[in-house]
Every structure is written in structure tokens, then in C-alpha cells.
Amino acid sequence: MKANLRIGITQGVNLTPQLLQSIRLLQLTAPQLEQELRQALERNPLLEQEEIEDEDAEEAVPEAAAVEVAAWDELPEPAFLSGGATGGGDEDATLRIADGESSDPRLRLLRELALHWDPADLEVAAWWLDHCDDRGYLERPLDELLAAARAAFPHRAGDVGLLRIRLLHGDWPGMAAADARECLAAQLRALPADASTGLAARILDQQMELLAAHDVDALAAATGADPGAVQAAVATILSLRPHPVQAPVAAEDGHIVPDVIAWRAGGGWRVALSSRGAPRLRIAPHCERALAGSDHQVLRGLLDEARWLVRGVNMRNETLLRTAQVLVERQAGFLDHGPEAILPLTLREVADAIGMHESTVSRIVSGKYIQTPRGTFELKRLFAVRLEGAEVSGAAVRAMVKRLIDEEPANAPLADDVIAGLLARQGIRIARRTVAKYRDQLSIGPARARRRAATRPARPSRQEYV
């Protein structure tokens, strides 16, 4: 065996305990931050709760804190942002930080896949997940995405389709499905095989229209099966999830504590951090003065810990406030006029506006809620993808589709091509299949089903039979 000596230079980030704590604080929601700070009050005698005299007063971030903000901006991006796993052999150290369950389903699934997928396959899986909507369906036609995937991974052009199939029949059956038929078929395949699932698979493959009409007799005639067996097969299909995205394992709280509050004042929108719950901490002045010249290791350690915590909370609050201000400024039209006025906005645009990295913006908005006169919702809702070939967002067009359907005559519902024509008159040119996609996302049936529902006579109540 021959020993070789190599000399090389590598670039990396030294994840100090202070930086790790700052990153963890950045990702905490309002209830989690409150719990963290109250535990720190009990654990560290050098900390005390600061009385808030002016809730609108803003604290400047210390200069040292700004340096640490720049440090965490250099950390590797999460896999769902970069489109793949981090390089360099070792896993991203930020993944070992204890935190709550992510609200992003793609990130939750990637964490599960990382346990048994190869890094190279995980990179392609992340690409497919980035092209899925929040329900887990592909955002664009399968043929277009296959061509784009082969261009993105030319060295694996023959594997990208197989890896989507592996996702489709993997940990979350139906993930990255092209349509509802493929999603439900993947979930059926994951069930134990019996006569009911076999008949259900035939119905999904050949009789989707009769299934949508819930016509058991017609299904029995078309499949040649007994009506009782058809009823059991339909019940099996109805027991499946309408979309593949799974909810987090952890139970959600029954209420939401907003992290940010936005309100109209003086002709514009104002933003402030919510002061409910989380205490404001500071280092007790008399303790800091007493330890100025002390070399007591335990007390000096407590003092350093208190300083790191106060500094990290200040950085977290400052970053959250600046991010929320940019989001509210860019989406003022949405807050004033509703979903139809939401503008295209990406993580990169917000990151450029506040002078930070996309990964920092992603961490600070994950799981955070904003309270507005229009309701309380996740900060992520203020991001919107630009509709291809247009200056509006897909979310705005989806809201327009919903409004047109809500306002349509009950006896003459609008077909998808008619809706596309009405939108074209407003300067928004989209295909009929795009209208159908948005209608499916809104859980609205086609024009034929809406007309049938409007003309179906109401069933008499039991009192009318008496």
C-alpha cells in the first residue's frame, strides 16, 4: 500500500454554538419562542424580563449580530431550494438542529427519503418535488416536465422518469402524480391485493366518468361485476386521499398565534411583531456590572449564554420584521383588494430586498403567521409563482376563475374554454387545460356536473312523507 500526502484548500462555514443557536431561534414560531425564553428565564439567573413601555419602539440590531447574520447567510441552502442534496460528502449540519415539524410537505418528504435514497437519486427527487403543487400533483404536463428533467440532468436522462415512478409508489403513494387517476391508482397499489382493490383499479383505469357520477348500476353493467362488489370497490376508492400530501405527524394546535401583525394606518400599511406571549429578555444590569472583572468560570459561562440568547432573539426578530415589511409592501394590493390582486413574488426577490440569502428568508417564513384585516395566514401565502408568459401570478388567476364560477348563472354554468375566453378579454391568455387545473385545485366540478347539480330536484324531507 502506498501512502500519499495531499494538500488542498476547501471553503466552509464553521458552525459555532452561537451560530447554531441563532439559526435555531430563526426557525422558531411564536409559541416555540415563548417556551424557549421562559425556560431560559428559569435556567439562567442573569436574565430578567424587560418591561415593555412602548410596543412600537424598535431596537437596533447590535453590530456583532449583523456579523452573525452574514455568517448564517453563507450556510448551504436547504435541499428543496437548491434542487438537490448538499455536496461535500457530509450532511448539512443545520439538519441536525432540533426544530419543529416543517410546514413544507416537500421538505418533510425529502427528510424521509434521505434515510434510504442515494444522494444522486435524492437530487432528482428534489427536482420533481419542486415541480409539484402544495397537494403533491405535477404543476405542468408530464411530457413537458420530462423534457425539462432530461435537460436538467443530461447524465441521467434515462432515469428521471423512473425516479418519478419511484416517488409515485414510494413513501407517500401518489406523490408527483400527473392527475387524480394516477394518484388514486398508486394508493390502491399500496393496499393489500384482493378482489375489491382489483375491481377498483379497473374502475379507475376505464370508468372514471361513471365513478365521478357515482352511478353504481352503470359501473356494474360496464365492468360485468355484481353491484355489491362494485359498491365495495367504490367505497375503497372513496377511502383514499384526494391528494398525496400527508399531514405532519405532530398534532396541530387548535389555535394560531400570529408572529407578525399588519394593519392600515396613515394611508399605508404598517407592520409590527406580535408582543403576545413571548417575554422580552435582557441581562440584569447589576449582574453584568458585578461580573465585569470576575474570572468565575461558571458565572462567566452563564453571562456568555445570556448574551448569545439576547443577541440571537434580536437577530430573529429583526429579520422577521424586515421580511414581513417587504412582503406587505409588495402584496399591498392583495391586502387591499383580495386574492385576485396578488403579485408574483419569489424568495430571491425578497432576499435581494433585505440583503440576505434565499435560505435565510426560507427559514424565517417557515411556519410563521401574519395577522391582517383579511385574516390570519402563513407568510408563505404572500409568495406567488408568475404565470408563464404573463405578468400575473397563478394564484391571482385561480382566484379569477373562482369568481367567474361563483357568478355564473345556475342554469348555464361556464365551460372551461368559455372561462379562458373571458380571461383573455382581460389580457390574461391561458389554455383551457390551465383553467381545468385551477378548477380542480378549487375542488369545483366541470360545467356538466355543476349543471346537473343545479337542476337536480331536492330530496323531500321525512316530514313531507308524514
CA–CA–CA angle 264, 265, 266 (5° rounding): 135
Please give the grid coordinates belonging to residue 109: 418528504
Please give the grid coordinates belonging to residue 140: 405542468
**pLDDT, tens digit, for every residue of 120-130?**
888 888 899 88
Q: Which among 400, 367, 397 has a CA at the least distance from the CA of 259?
A: 367
**pLDDT, tens digit, for every residue of 17-63?**
666 677 778 778 888 888 888 888 888 888 888 775 544 444 433 34
247-256, 271-280, 374-383, 404-413: segment of lowest average pLDDT = 247-256
What average pLDDT score do residues 266-278 get?
Answer: 82
Is pTM beyond 0.75? Reply is no
Superfamily of domain 394-455: Homeodomain-like (1.10.10.60)
Judged against a pLDDT cut of 90, whether residue 326 lies above it is answered with yes
Burial (CB count within 10 angstroms: exposed 0-12, middle 13-18, buried 19+), residue 380: middle
Question: pLDDT band for position 385 (50/70/90)?
Answer: confident
Measured distance CA(237)–CA(214) in Å, rounded: 11
In single-letter form, the type of residue at position 124 comes to V
Judged against a pLDDT cut of 60, whether residue 87 lies above it is answered with no
Across all residues in the chain, what is the average pLDDT? 77
28-37, 262-271, 279-288 — most confident range: 262-271
Judged against a pLDDT cut of 90, whether residue 94 lies above it is answered with no
**Residue that wins the pLDDT comparison between 54 and 376:** 376
Domain range list for the chain: 180-238, 394-455
152-156, 383-387, 412-416: segment of lowest average pLDDT = 383-387
CA–CA–CA angle 451, 456, 459 (5° rounding): 155
Question: pLDDT band for position 321 (50/70/90)?
Answer: very high
Judged against a pLDDT cut of 70, whether residue 116 lies above it is answered with yes
Percent share of the chain, pLDDT over 70? 76
Measured distance CA(369)–CA(260) in Å, rounded: 7
